[in-house]
Chains A and B, each alone.
Chain A
Amino acid sequence: MMAREQDISETYNPWPKIGWATTAGIVVVSAVLGFGLLDRYQQAGPTLSVWSAICRGLGISSDTESTAEPQPTLRTPTRIAWTNATLDQIKAGDAKHGAFVTLVCTACHGEHGISQSALYPTLAGMDAATVYKQLDDFRSGKRSWGAMNAIAQALSLHDSADAAVYFAAQPDGLPALTGDRAPESGRSLRQSDPAKRLIFAGAPERGIPPCSACHGPGGYKLGAPALQGQQANYIEEQLLAFAQGMRQNDVFEQMRIIARQLTSDEMHAVAAFYAAPVGAPRVVGIPSR
């Protein structure tokens, strides 16, 4: 019988046997090695029992070693955590009621939240979540400044949310942070202007990320205020407060670590760069509203 006429199903086919035997071998050998043998032997610890080794291999063992080290005291910089409940409360703020609530704010923060004084920050256009958090930090005493603690204590959570949403909606203040920007030359470590270099490229050797990554333009981080168009003196004061440890409401000391490493010249230059006069042409971003 010619090989060509032989039905293909009659051709001797050892492959199912070979395939399944190899598969079984692989499964057994790798399971035994990976779960029962190799992970039993620890370089810096006693040999584990088989059951412990299997649990560790699966990834469900708990670390039972306790540290004899003294634990540092827990310091909470803020009461706010960005839970869904908190974010929902902020979003539910009523701007109309906020306009009423914030009438008293204009004394320092200016008409419609656009500050005319070097001492007080512009709040117009500031992200609602940022305003809400700072108000709560003043309320709880995690952040202290003059009359702000008493003012914040007089506001309920609802009022805070209303005020926050009102300020966020005010025009001609800080730009909305969208996280994107049109690319432009001179925004890398090649930049010779120290302020621009810090803002757009940071200082990797000091572990300082670019300011714009959180504060914009071209970056966004929940809770980080937009800085462009802000009062220069206010920015500089806050950087100094972080550096000296006078202000402590930044989570994980992020701002304190950064500010401690900035020279006073750098603080001044960065603040001056960010503070363009309100209404003046700003760095081009991609609008989202």
Chain B
Amino acid sequence: MKERAVQNSSRLALYHLWIAFGVFLPAVALGAWQMLMRSPLPAPLDDTNAYYTSVTLHGTAMAYAVTTFFAMGFGYAVTATSLGRPVRGIIAAWIGFVICLIGTVMAVVIVLIGRATVLYTFYPPLLASPWYYFGALLLIGGSMIWVVLMIYNMLIWKRDNPGQPVPLAMFAITATAILWAWAASGVIIELLFVLIPQALGITTRIDVGLGRTLFTVTLHAIVYFWLMPAYIAYYTLAPEAAGGRLYSDTAGRLTFIMLLVFSVPVGLHHVFQDPDIGAGFKFLQSFLTFFVALPTLLTVFSICASLEIAGRARGGRGLLGWLWALPWQEPMVLAVALSLVMLGLGGFGGFINMSYAMNQMVHNTTWVTAHFHLIWGGAVVTMYFAIAYEIWPRITGRPLRSKELARWQLWLWFAGMLIVTIPWHITGLMGMPRRVAAFDYGDPFVAPMGPLVIISAIGGLILLVSAILLIAILVRSHFGEGQLQAPLRYAIAVNPPKAIPASLNGFALWNAILLVLMVFAYGYPIGQFLFLKSSVPAYEVTHTATSGAGP
């Protein structure tokens, strides 16, 4: 019976991860095509309309589908393995999976047929078919079931183990779930009260400022929702894979707490250039954004320290001698190093973006695109790959056929991502606007950007090869000789916690603080739209003769 329950939990995790990576590969292919399309190079099916549709699909797939399914699958895997028992509420989990899948399919299909070319940020007054919004609502809303299950599983474990510290991995994934609930609230409210009524023709005017401001609640916090599984791997899987110990359990807990508290009330830094928000609140949220850099700095330190412990335990000597002593043949260890390099570069770009004044130079240029591709597409997704390489063998019972191939795949991804993003940063500083399908490379202003764009496009093709390799490795992991794998082991801290304060074992205090910060940072910016009469007509991207909504 227990055997079945464990199997069921494993299957739950695996199905989620398969959807995540199954969507990932075509999305990468679209991205590579987009890079060719906007470059001076020839491209197949070069239709400018198709570019915008592709950007919508690529964004929707990567930002909503891949990430949500990955987090959910990883969350179920962490719950089962770190708590040492099957996931409770498994039927609800499967229902959530189906709802999210239906939503994803709805959104993907409607975008593919060209009825929702509004980009994954779907800023009003551009209006898509209501099917797109319903699809997004099902995907995001369905994942709330996962959120509830993470919290529920942690709470009943605490009830069954009074006085015990919650294992760090479980604590962290629950923090991730709570963060997602806070983050998703913005886009869910925007969908329910601003966009869907307009798309159905119930309202005939739309408040653009309200829609955008609600979306910013989601817009930054969501990237931390994406980031936290990678950080969980940093703290709990990497030290173990390196053969060492986690430098500090408390640092880990504090990191996830700080990420929870500081990644939500900072969304306005995505709209520094908007005329619908007052400068004071933009500054305020810029100030708060500095605090969300702290957990990353803490993480980089802790992980490097943990790896140093591992290196020295393996005989490394000297100031940096421990680096060479690390087991680099392990994909997880290699992934951490590559990821930290990209995190550093991308994080530096992030400092620029969040500085209210410097943002003026880079807003909506390709610098921004470069930044989030480097951070998410680079640092975070590399860890997703490494997590997949750890989880697949444990669930299928078949080891990775070749760790060398996995390392190749990681190196290719790293190289490709740097080749893609470094020129992009430069063209952004030159003033190249983003989300543009075609550039006249004969224009003397645009001409110098041409060679850089070509280099980026080549990087995109390298990424495509790496993504194909990833899927090949994962598929091969389903065949071949079965070998009982050692269960997933989490890193042990240098000083394992025996008794920790309640506030580092639960989230009541931190949710309260976050609520206060949200009211302070977002209360007026959202509330102002109730008395600012700023509604305007919406603009559908597809017009039907019988559509009643707006012009």
Query: Is A30 in contact with B505, judged by CB distance below 8 angstroms?
Result: no
Scan B289-313; emit 1 where CB is below 8 A from any A CB, else 0.
0010000000000000000000000
Query: Is A8 in contact with B162, judged by CB distance below 8 angstroms?
Result: yes
- A212 CB to nearest chain B CB (Å): 8
Interface size on B, residues (CB 8 A): 60
CA distance A23 to B520 in the complex (A): 11
Known A23-B513, A222-B551: A189·B545 in contact at CB below 8 Å: no
**Which B175-228 residues sit within 8 Å CB-CB of chain A?**
204
CA distance A22 to B297 in the complex (A): 18
CA distance A150 to B291 in the complex (A): 70
Query: Which of B50, B114, B499, B505 lies in contact with A4, CB distance below 8 A?
Result: B499
For B280, list chain A residues within 8 Å (CB): 31, 34-35, 39, 54, 56-59
**Which A175-189 residues sit within 8 Å CB-CB of chain B?**
176-181, 183-189
Known A34-B283, A187-B46: A58·B278 in contact at CB below 8 Å: yes
New A-B pairs, 11, CB < 8 Å, besides A54-B280, A204-B443: A8-B164, A9-B502, A19-B510, A27-B516, A31-B280, A57-B283, A180-B117, A181-B49, A212-B49, A220-B540, A289-B544
Interface size on A, residues (CB 8 A): 65
- A194 CB to nearest chain B CB (Å): 13
**Which B509-539 residues sit within 8 Å CB-CB of chain A?**
509-510, 513, 516-517, 520, 524, 528, 537
Contact residues of A with B, CB < 8 Å?
A: 3-9, 11-16, 19-20, 23, 26-27, 29-31, 33-35, 38-39, 54, 56-60, 82, 84, 87, 129, 168, 176-181, 183-190, 200-201, 203-205, 210, 212, 218-220, 222, 286, 288-289
**Which B75-130 residues sit within 8 Å CB-CB of chain A?**
113-115, 117
For B509, list chain A residues within 8 Å (CB): 15-16, 19
Known A23-B516, A185-B45, A200-B47: A178·B543 in contact at CB below 8 Å: yes
Query: Is A57 in contact with B499, judged by CB distance below 8 angstroms?
Result: no
A/B interface sample: 17 pairs, CB < 8 A = A6-B499, A14-B501, A19-B509, A19-B510, A59-B276, A59-B281, A84-B204, A178-B542, A180-B115, A181-B49, A183-B45, A183-B47, A185-B45, A186-B47, A200-B48, A210-B48, A220-B540
CA distance A289 to B280 in the complex (A): 50
Query: Is B48 in contact with A180, judged by CB distance below 8 angstroms?
Result: no
For A205, list chain B residues within 8 Å (CB): 440, 442-443
CA distance A174 to B513 in the complex (A): 61
Known A13-B501, A13-B503, A56-B280: A188·B47 in contact at CB below 8 Å: yes
CA distance A246 to B283 in the complex (A): 50
Task: Give the tally of cross-chain contacts (CB within 8 A).
Answer: 177
CA distance A207 to B545 in the complex (A): 30
Query: Taking CB as reference atom, which chain A residue is nearest B37?
Result: A188
CA distance A187 to B37 in the complex (A): 11
Interface status of B71 (Cβ within 8 A of chain A) = no
CA distance A212 to B162 in the complex (A): 67
CA distance A220 to B550 in the complex (A): 13
CA distance A110 to B132 in the complex (A): 42
- A25 CB to nearest chain B CB (Å): 11
For B284, list chain A residues within 8 Å (CB): 30-31, 34
For A60, list chain B residues within 8 Å (CB): 278
Interface status of B18 (Cβ within 8 A of chain A) = no
CA distance A132 to B516 in the complex (A): 54
Interface status of B500 (Cβ within 8 A of chain A) = yes
Known A34-B283, A288-B542: A26·B551 in contact at CB below 8 Å: no
Query: Taking CB as reference atom, which chain B residue is nearest A39?
Result: B279
- A164 CB to nearest chain B CB (Å): 13
For A57, list chain B residues within 8 Å (CB): 278-281, 283
Interface status of B288 (Cβ within 8 A of chain A) = yes
Which are the 6 A-B pairs with shortest beta-carbon distances? Answer: A57-B280, A59-B278, A180-B114, A13-B501, A15-B503, A183-B50
Query: Is B502 in contact with A11, judged by CB distance below 8 angstroms?
Result: yes
For B47, list chain A residues within 8 Å (CB): 181, 183-188, 200
Query: Is B42 in contact with A190, judged by CB distance below 8 angstroms?
Result: yes
